[in-house]
Amino acid sequence: MGKVNDRLGRAVMLMALLLQLPSSMAQTFSGAVGTILDDGSHNHYLAQVSGVVPAVMDTNYGLETVCITLTHTWTDDLVISLIAPDGSEFLLAGRNGGDGDNYTATCFNQDAAVPIDNVGAPFTGTFRPEGAMAMVNNGQDPNGTWTLHIWDSYPWADTGDLLSWSVTFGDQPATPFPFSATVLPLVVVNTHGGLIPDDPKVMVGMRIIRNADGAPNRPTDPGNIYDGLAGMETRGNSSNGMPKRSYNFETRNADSTNRDVVLLDMPLDNDWCLIANYSDKTLMRNWYSYHLFRKMGHWAPRMEFCELMVDGEYQGIYLLGERIKKGPDRVTIATMTTSDVEGAELTGGYIFKVDWVDNGDVVWQSQFPAVNASEGLRFVLDYPKPENLQPQQLDYIRAYVDSFEQAMDSPDFSDTLSGFRNFISQGSFVDYIILTEFTKNTDGYRLSTFLHKVKNGKIKAGPPWDYDLSWGNADYMNGYYPGGWDFETQSDLTDQCPFWWSRFFEDTVFMDRVRCRWQELREHAFHPDTIKAEIDSLAELLGPAIGTNFTKWPILGTYVWPNPSPIPDDYPGEIAKLKDWADFRITWLDEHWPGTCAEVVNSVGDAGAMGRGLSLYPNPSNGVFRVAVPQGDNTGTLVVSTMDGSMVMRQGHAGTAAIEVNLGALGAGLYVVTWQTATGLYRAKANVTGWR
């Protein structure tokens, strides 16, 4: 009887195991194959899945692996994704492998150690997909039609064939990255099961959460900063090929019109970005570079640190911030309408840049080639937008920039009356050069280099953009070395840099002003103690989220293009390296800026100040000043400029002890009075209070 009961018990146990078999064994289904069309169309290959038990995909049982084999030359052309029966889609691989060929027995598994975009073609083995595979294990039935979606994003060039593909379900399904809360603001995006493409923007749901009094921000919390819709796309050039993607987005109404909102205390607008800073392991080079330019008195994009989730998958620490555009709280230039085709209205405003050229950009070619190039440099017009631009407006800004470049190419380019100062706001170029040289931005001067022109005014340099490969974070173009001139590297090693950046360094008066401005900024904004203290403060702010970010993206201590060696093993090491680099760079610039800087005296009529610099009295004044010329240095040129560097008066004098100058007609405000001689440079600020 005991043996019978024992056998019966074993039979019951075996039956129970057999009933559970489908949920504890992997089940694989293959799909249709065929040619990968190279005409710009989207290729869809179907797989019919049936008989999968249980009929619910979740964290216990669901999609585990996707495998493909295909031939294709130049795999970087291909965008490959998987679409589940409910229509939800995630990215397997998007434009990877450069000019390499083929995916051969290539499998994608969420738990794979190596991301697909960390290796080159030909691809063979198991890799982590770029998208969130776990999003399809969302409670849907696995039975139905699965679709492999392949798009050749560069048509009429390379060809190939899909030879095989399959999906595998099992009891080790892809699950979301564990994330529960953050102290940083949290951005939660819902694509409703779709992909976020490079272009055009797709409509998504978005919540931005920042709870009061430092309370944790959770993915399930209501959007108390923003709760609505947005048009979203990926952004960037080299960064767009990195696994942690950056995004542009517009806050929108339901009818797709723009919705102006205040986000994280940044001024009202609808045009925003989310910057990933993947290769910058400090995560702060962009933020701090823009912060410095604002401290110098200019507008630069405001950015706030946050964390991002897309379709339930944690993406890491990001910067949510402003994009460069015309606006009352951004680039403050006049609005251009289609009727602004003559007179003063035609003179501005305009935003243009030296950068990569994208499809649809309005571009004009310079009369002068970039350094080391044979063809004319290309300028991209950013504002007015192509749909509103009039031919007269493009002709005007092109002619104005041509005139500036012709002045810079002239033998008399530095003449304070007939030279380049007629076309640019000198002060903005001084500050832009200081920021670019201090950060030693490898993209500086030649890429993401914005300029703008105001109505009835001159060209201004900036705003700054794209500084993640600065502050020593580049293993090419000497970007890692804290010594040397950035403008020389750009000119020597590239064919994209405008000739006129190096030309400024040939003008002694301009470089005198750069040195004086540097010495002024070194007192606080560019003081090493200030910079190191602010970097430490940012690191403390990010501290609670750093571990989560680098668990999601385990890249500390490893090479990510273009990190220079040695690569720190941890985040404190990255911060220490950043501060050390800044320390060395400041010292190098202190010792190497060309030019001289006479002491600037803001005199109030004290005769004793005459020996220290340039004395003006009375100061403030209703417009008439008496300039006391330094003893023994009384032959030279008196120049009066606005605070942005635009010259408004120039007079030559010989053997004089004092000069009377009338600035009343210029209007109330501050002006810079400069006495330039063969041996010295003297300055003072004149405060004009206006006529009585």
Averaged pLDDT for residues 455-471: 97
Q: Interior CA angle at 335 toward 330 and 337, to 5°?
A: 150
Cα 36 from Cα 165, distance rounded (Å): 13
Query: Cβ distance 502 to 371 under 8 Å?
Result: yes
Q: Show the tokens assigned to 286.
A: 């962009």
User: At 241, is the pLDDT very low, low, confident or very high (cuts 50, 70, 90)?
Assistant: low
Mean pLDDT estimate for the chain = 90
Kindly report the CATH number that applies to the domain delimited by 25-170: 2.60.120.260
pLDDT tens by residue, 98-113: 889 999 999 999 999 8
Indicate the pTM of the whole model. Answer: 0.82
Kindly report the CATH number that applies to the domain delimited by 607-688: 2.60.40.3080
User: At 606, is the pLDDT very low, low, confident or very high (cuts 50, 70, 90)?
Assistant: very low
| 516 compared with 650, residue with greater pLDDT | 516
Q: Residue 644: its pLDDT value, please?
A: 60
| 590 compared with 687, residue with greater pLDDT | 590
Averaged pLDDT for residues 131-142: 94
Q: Residue 238: its pLDDT value, please?
A: 64
By C-alpha distance, which of 468, 516, 501 is closest to 370? 501
pLDDT tens by residue, 366-400: 999 999 998 889 999 999 999 999 999 999 999 99
Q: Residue 651: its pLDDT value, please?
A: 87
With 70 as the cut, is the pLDDT of residue 691 above it?
no
Query: Cβ distance 105 to 127 under 8 Å?
Result: no
| CATH 2.60.120.260 domain locations along the chain | 25-170
With 90 as the cut, is the pLDDT of residue 21 above it?
no
| CATH 2.60.40.3080 domain locations along the chain | 607-688
Give the DSSP letter string of 443-501.
TTTTSSEEEEE-TTS-EEE------TT-TT--SSTTTT-SSS-HHHHHHHH-S-S-THH
User: At 658, is the pLDDT very low, low, confident or very high (cuts 50, 70, 90)?
Assistant: confident
Query: Cβ distance 397 to 403 under 8 Å?
Result: no
Q: Give helix then strand counts, H and E, for the chain.
A: 9, 31
User: At 9, is the pLDDT very low, low, confident or very high (cuts 50, 70, 90)?
Assistant: very low
